Amino acid sequence: MKEFAGKHLVLGLSGGVACYKSAELCRLLIKAGASGQIVMTEAAEQFITPVTMQALSGRTVYGSQWDTREPNNMPHINLSREADAILIAPCSADFAARLAQGRSDELLSLLCLARPAERVPLLLAPAMNREMWVHPATQRNFAQVAQDGATVLGVGTGEQACGETGDGRMLEPAELMEELSAFFAPKQLVGQHLLVTAGPTFEAIDPVRGITNLSSGKMGFAIARAAREAGAEVTLVAGPVHLPTPRGVRRINVQSAEQMLMAVEQSVDAATVFVATAAVADWRPALASEQKIKKDGSGEVPALAFVENPDILARVAQSPRARAGQLFCVGFAAESHDLLAHATAKRLRKQVPLLVGNIGPATFGQDDNALLLIDAEGHRELPHASKRVLAQQLVADIASRLRAAPAAPRRVGAQVLV
Ligand code: C5P
């Protein structure tokens, strides 16, 4: 099932160079299963033609309140009432000023004013030159529109079409899609703070070599994103991976297991849920050489001695807050076979209320996975799906556990831990 299946959006374009990004945004929305009605101001049509937007949305574009296509000649009423949300992207400084004043002398602002505000949310993606963005009049207008019930999305920073650099760029289409997902996601984790570890660790042998594993971090990043979308505050401690940080998530980059432990210890007191998805190296070289170990031609191979890494999850799970039920701990197990037996044993060994099993070789680096959720009562399968969908399902599962036992002593095995 596509993420936006069944959702109908009015995508409004006001005048700005960022209109070119709205074409891509429209394409992404349609690809994600949404239907989109494009409404453009006269200024927007200076930047991109309705032909492009019609082709991408599969619907004729509206630009005038005098459009006779609607039998009752009221496009502002008809279009606004059938929408699940109205997204103005780009929202120019002028358009924000018009919204702030409740102006209604062209279709797009008229439609925003006429929408049933309690059931049709209005989202704005500002786009303008950096001086225009920081101008008190613009800030005042966006603050007013937000106070009137609209959701003002952030702006990007960087090079602008005018040649200047700073704040005010419209968010990229993929970022806007993330914002929309977050907006529509059920807010099941409001008030919770998730601490998530993700990715592999890298254990140095010398300054240019080390030991790592094939974990891509995708599952942990998807969980961080889904938790954030569900309304939680999220801290993500990430091993060395090349993945973009989910919007709104605080990320701490680490390399080794010891660094990961340190980052976790610094953040765990504020957390209410700890999800350990990281594939932490079990051992590290006992002594990392300060200089590159050289091959001297003698044929002699260096002997590497290892020491065991700290078990981050086991430590956190044994902390007083976890034992008192104030910190809900979720572990992961990547196994190659006998998933249920190994993961069940691991749950008891690590003393966590919930352990999520998956088949390591089948999931590392992939975009999809299948999960097995194991708790004191038994187990439940989350069948094969994208990591995005599985992360949403896992977050929903964690949320229902938190609702069922808010900050209560937790049951790991047969006995209750207090
Ligand atoms: O023992 P094993 O590595 O299979 O356990 C996997 C679970 O324990 C995962 O949740 C992983 O993030 C966590 N773990 C950890 N620190 C370690 C080893 C594993 O937090 N040193």
CA distances from 131 to 18, 105, 135, 172 (A): 16, 27, 6, 20
What is the arithmetic mean of pLDDT over 193-200? 98
At 375, the amino acid letter reads D
* Catalytic option among 19, 91, 112, 162: 162
Testing ligand 1's pocket by substitution, the residue of 196, 219, 237, 313 carrying the most ligand atoms inside 8 A of its CB is 313
Atom of ligand 1 nearest to the CA of 257: 21
* CA–centroid distance, residue 185 to ligand 1 (Å): 30
Please give the distance of CA 296 from its chain centroid, rounded to a whole number.
49
Of 232-236, 298-302, 380-384, least confident by mean pLDDT is: 298-302
Residue 408: band (very low, low, confident or very high) from pLDDT cuts 50, 70, 90: low
Q: Is 257 in the pocket of ligand 1 (CB under 6 A)?
A: yes
Q: Nearest 5 degrees, angle CA 385-CA 387-CA 391?
A: 105
What is the arithmetic mean of pLDDT over 192-209? 97
Residue 407: band (very low, low, confident or very high) from pLDDT cuts 50, 70, 90: low
Q: Is 356 in the pocket of ligand 1 (CB under 6 A)?
A: no
Testing ligand 1's pocket by substitution, the residue of 203, 312, 352 carrying the most ligand atoms inside 8 A of its CB is 312
pLDDT digits 0-9 by tens, 135-193: 999 999 999 999 999 999 999 999 988 899 999 999 999 999 999 999 999 999 999 99
What is the arithmetic mean of pLDDT over 323-334? 96
In the prediction, which pLDDT does 201 show? 98
Nearest to 59 by CA among 31, 85, 21, 26: 26
Residue 417: band (very low, low, confident or very high) from pLDDT cuts 50, 70, 90: very low
Please name each of the domains of the chain with its CATH number: 8-184 (3.40.50.1950), 193-284+306-405 (3.40.50.10300)
Residue 413: band (very low, low, confident or very high) from pLDDT cuts 50, 70, 90: low
Better pLDDT: 2 or 173: 173
What are the DSSP E strand ranges found in 108-199? 122-126, 151-152, 156-159, 165-169, 193-198
Whether residue 418 is predicted with pLDDT greater than 80 in this model: the reply is no
What is the arithmetic mean of pLDDT over 80-90? 97
pLDDT digits 0-9 by tens, 216-273: 999 999 999 999 999 999 999 999 999 999 999 999 999 999 999 999 999 999 999 9
Whether residue 409 is predicted with pLDDT greater than 80 in this model: the reply is no
Q: Which two tokens stand for residue 361?
A: 């070789």
In the prediction, which pLDDT does 382 show? 96
Q: Which two tokens stand for residue 224?
A: 């961080």
Give the burial string for 127-149 (b: 16+ CB within 10 Å, else e).
bbbbebbeeeebeebbebbeeee
Nearest to 392 by CA among 369, 365, 415: 369
- For the whole model, what pTM was predicted? 0.89
Kindly give the residue spans of alpha helices, DSSP state H, lying in 282-386. Answer: 312-317, 320-323, 339-350, 360-363
Atom of ligand 1 nearest to the CA of 277: 12
Tell me the C-alpha distance between 248 and 228, whole Å.
Answer: 7
Look at ligand 1, atom 17, and give the residue with the nearest C-alpha: 311
In the prediction, which pLDDT does 275 show? 98
* CA–centroid distance, residue 313 to ligand 1 (Å): 6
In the prediction, which pLDDT does 360 show? 80
CA distances from 37 to 60, 92, 171 (A): 8, 19, 20
For the chain, percent of residues with pLDDT exceeding 70:
97
pLDDT digits 0-9 by tens, 97-145: 999 999 999 999 999 999 999 999 999 999 999 999 999 999 999 999 9
Residue 343: band (very low, low, confident or very high) from pLDDT cuts 50, 70, 90: very high
